[in-house]
């Protein structure tokens, strides 16, 4: 309605409106929304003096309020106002305005029409405030939510592809929550299945229940539940799964929940089984002819060796070295198979390392001397441990072989033994190039080599460190690499003092015997 009355705002309310954190206004509903009153906050919000909106000697043509609204938003603003005035109800709208310095700000406006007794519109009263920060925060939140939804969808899709489900188990109530993938893994219908700890255990292969219970018990102490076991699906299929979870504790240290994942690893287990069977077959098939070859070479070297021409002796030496190297490789493959099957045997006895360690080093002196390499032994610990001496020799030989292999000619390999915080520590250091930083995380994995090309200068298949780590751990020790060593490579292996090991030996069940105990 045009031609509205210019009824002034009562003076007693002017100061109150000027102190509000927003713009209070009264205007006509004409083409330019002629202003009857606008509060002083308009200058702080938009950079314009309120005097510019009135006719005066300074401003012959008052500023039009509509000129400050972004043109793209003007249609929606007018439509909202007109529609609500027609219904004689208040309106609320959010839109953009132009600041005097050129910035665009977001505002919210609430308003209403004031009508006389005849129903004629007299003027509009309203309030406008700056919501730029709120709008930007809301937009950022919407974007974040969209990203989260996208990532959640991607995670769900990936989880289905790799058959990885998520679960939470409440220890006190036995309640269990499963993600959708777990229903697929167990072959269950989500719509008619209520997960529970009891239901889960009803699908665990009976032979694996003690293994699972033991892992859960350890999780209460260590906070980690990590176990591979079999399940019998609803359709009768036997599948392998891996569970990994962390324990959640109350403020008083009481465990109340496990949060983790379960993944179907049946395909991986099948592949590993085929691979181990292949390795076992090939290794055993190679061992018999290789033994015969090594024996024949030994007879030749022990018999007519001195009467051979130099060239033939060199070929014989090369064949003998290659046969020895192949024998080591076959033994490594058989050890890997035994480790995977849990059938590797250990025979413990009390070992004097001050006697055994020099013997191991002596067996490498010839190889080192061929390149002028000195093996320097330094021992400051008594070194009496309960170990399997054969497996100990295997570990130290692997470390020594690597150190000699990567040392420069006429270099020094330092082997030291000392006691540190209740452990006997043996270090093997060389003066070679060291291990590249990017390769260090993969040092103790199977078939890992810093240079995987067929042009590398040093042989081997990257099995020695993997086997050494497993042997050390099976004997309650540990092995590692010192990344902060001043030069070259420095590997270490350590074991607790023998009294600690003996007390723990009964925990190891099969494949381990204790001599002299």
CATH number at residue 299: 1.10.287
Check whether 9 has a pLDDT greater than 80. no
Q: What is the DSSP letter of 483?
A: T
Name, in order, each residue with C-beta under 8 angstroms of 119's C-beta and a sequence gap of 6 or more. none
For residues 82 and 76, what is the distance between their CA atoms, to the nearest angstrom?
Answer: 10
pLDDT, tens digit (0-9, with 9 covering 90-100), for 103-119? 999 999 999 999 998 88
CA angle 141, 146, 148 (to 5 degrees): 90
Check whether 315 has a pLDDT greater than 90. no
- Please indicate, yes or no, if residue 109 is contained in any of the structural domains: yes
Percent of the chain with pLDDT over 90: 29
Q: CATH number for the domain including 260?
A: 3.30.450.20
Check whether 493 has a pLDDT greater than 90. yes
Same domain? For 321 and 401 the reply is no
- Please indicate, yes or no, if residue 485 is contained in any of the structural domains: yes
Check whether 6 has a pLDDT greater than 70. no
Of 264, 296, 331, the position where a domain reaches its end is: 264
Same domain? For 368 and 297 the reply is no
Predicted local confidence at residue 183, as pLDDT:
92
Contact between residue 187 and residue 236 where contact means Cβ atoms under 8 Å apart: no
Identify the helix (H) or strand (E) that includes residue 338: helix 310-341
Predicted local confidence at residue 459, as pLDDT:
47
Tell me how many domains the chain contains: 4
More confident residue, 325 or 495: 495
Predicted local confidence at residue 107, as pLDDT:
94
Same domain? For 308 and 222 the reply is no
Q: Give the pLDDT band (50/70/90) at residue 173.
A: confident
Check whether 501 has a pLDDT greater than 50. no
Predicted local confidence at residue 251, as pLDDT:
87
Same domain? For 282 and 225 the reply is no
Pick the range with the lowest mean pLDDT from 12-26, 132-146, 234-248: 12-26
Pick the range with the lowest mean pLDDT from 94-98, 352-356, 459-463, 488-492: 459-463
Predicted local confidence at residue 516, as pLDDT:
47
Of 340, 363, 380, the position where a domain reaches its end is: 340
Calculate mean pLDDT across residues 164-177: 87
Give per-residue burial for 433-457: e unless 16+ CB within 10 Å, then b. Answer: ebbeeeeeeebbeeebbbeeeeeee
In this structure, what is the dihedral angle of CA atoms 156, 158, 163, 165, given to the nearest 10 degrees? -40
Percent of the chain with pLDDT over 70: 78
Name, in order, each residue with C-beta under 8 angstroms of 502's C-beta and a sequence gap of 6 or more. 386, 514, 517
pLDDT, tens digit (0-9, with 9 covering 90-100), for 371-407? 999 999 998 876 678 888 988 998 999 899 999 999 9
Same domain? For 328 and 405 the reply is no
Of 90, 109, 130, the position where a domain reaches its end is: 130
Same domain? For 120 and 236 the reply is no
Predicted local confidence at residue 454, as pLDDT:
40
Same domain? For 312 and 373 the reply is no
Check whether 457 has a pLDDT greater than 50. no
Q: If DSSP codes are grouped into helix, strand and coil, which group holds residue 311?
A: helix
- Please indicate, yes or no, if residue 36 is contained in any of the structural domains: yes
Same domain? For 324 and 373 the reply is no
Which range marks the domain in which residue 333 is found?
A: 269-340
With 0-12 / 13-18 / 19 or more C-beta atoms within 10 angstroms meaning exposed / middle / buried, residue 306 is exposed
Predicted local confidence at residue 137, as pLDDT:
86
Same domain? For 436 and 416 the reply is yes
Helical residues (DSSP H) of 237-364, grouped into ranges: 266-302, 310-341, 353-362
Check whether 461 has a pLDDT greater than 60. no
More confident residue, 67 or 425: 425
Q: Give the pLDDT band (50/70/90) at residue 62.
A: confident
Q: CATH number for the domain including 411?
A: 3.30.565.10
- Please indicate, yes or no, if residue 1 is contained in any of the structural domains: no
Same domain? For 417 and 323 the reply is no
More confident residue, 335 or 427: 427
Same domain? For 336 and 365 the reply is no
- Please indicate, yes or no, if residue 3 is contained in any of the structural domains: no
- Please indicate, yes or no, if residue 259 is contained in any of the structural domains: yes
Name, in order, each residue with C-beta under 8 angstroms of 382's C-beta and a sequence gap of 6 or more. 354, 419
Provide the mean pLDDT of the chain: 81
- Please indicate, yes or no, if residue 244 is contained in any of the structural domains: yes
- Please indicate, yes or no, if residue 205 is contained in any of the structural domains: yes
Same domain? For 283 and 303 the reply is yes
Cα 287 to Cα 14, 292, 354: the distances in Å are: 103, 9, 34
């Amino acid at each position: 309605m045009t031609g509205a009355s210019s009824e002034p705002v009562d003076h007693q309310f002017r100061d109150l409106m000027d102190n509000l954190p927003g713009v209070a206004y009264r205007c006509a509903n004409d083409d330019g929304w002629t202003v009857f009153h606008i509060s002083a906050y308009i200058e702080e919000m938009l950079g314009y003096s309120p005097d510019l909106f009135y006719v005066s000697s300074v401003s012959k043509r008052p500023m039009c309020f509509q000129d400050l609204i972004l043109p793209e938003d003007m249609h929606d603003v007018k439509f909202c106002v007109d529609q609500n005035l027609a219904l004689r109800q208040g309106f609320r709208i959010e839109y953009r305005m132009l600041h005097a310095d050129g910035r665009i700000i977001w505002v919210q406006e609430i308003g209403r029409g004031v009508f006389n007794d005849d129903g004629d519109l007299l003027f509009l009263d309203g309030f406008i405030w700056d919501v730029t920060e709120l709008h930007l925060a809301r937009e950022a939140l919407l974007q974040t939510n969209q990203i989260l939804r996208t990532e959640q969808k991607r995670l769900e899709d990936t989880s289905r592809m790799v058959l990885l489900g998520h679960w939470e188990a409440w220890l006190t109530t036995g309640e269990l929550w499963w993600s959708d993938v777990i229903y697929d893994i167990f072959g269950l219908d989500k719509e008619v299945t209520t997960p529970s700890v009891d239901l889960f255990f009803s699908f665990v292969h009976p032979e694996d229940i003690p293994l699972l219970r033991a892992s859960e018990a350890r999780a209460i102490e260590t906070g980690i539940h990590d176990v591979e076991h079999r399940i019998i699906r609803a359709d009768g299929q036997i599948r392998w799964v891996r569970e990994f979870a962390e324990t959640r504790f109350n403020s008083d240290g009481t465990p109340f929940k496990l949060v983790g994942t379960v993944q179907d690893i049946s395909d991986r287990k099948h592949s590993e089984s085929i691979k181990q069977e292949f390795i076992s077959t090939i290794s055993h098939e190679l061992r018999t002819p290789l033994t015969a070859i090594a024996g024949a070479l030994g007879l030749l070297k022990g018999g007519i060796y001195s009467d051979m021409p130099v060239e033939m002796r060199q070929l014989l030496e090369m064949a003998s070295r290659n046969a020895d190297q192949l024998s080591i490789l076959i033994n490594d493959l058989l050890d890997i198979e035994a480790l995977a099957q849990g059938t590797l045997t250990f025979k413990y006895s009390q070992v004097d390392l001050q006697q055994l360690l020099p013997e191991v080093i002596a067996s490498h002196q010839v190889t080192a001397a061929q390149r002028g390499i000195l093996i320097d032994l330094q021992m400051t610990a008594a070194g009496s441990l309960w170990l399997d001496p054969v497996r100990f020799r295997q570990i130290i030989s692997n470390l020594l072989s690597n150190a000699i292999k990567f040392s420069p000619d006429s270099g020094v390999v330092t082997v030291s033994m000392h006691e540190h915080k209740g452990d006997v520590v043996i270090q093997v250091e060389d003066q070679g190039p060291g291990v590249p930083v990017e390769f260090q995380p993969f040092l103790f994995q199977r078939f890992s080599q810093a240079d995987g090309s067929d042009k590398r200068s040093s042989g081997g298949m990257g099995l020695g460190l993997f086997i050494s780590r497993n042997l050390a751990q099976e004997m309650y020790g540990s092995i590692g690499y010192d990344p902060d060593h001043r030069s070259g490579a420095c590997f270490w292996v350590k074991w607790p003092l023998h009294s600690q090991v003996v007390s723990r030996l009964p925990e190891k069940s099969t494949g381990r015997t204790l001599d002299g105990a």
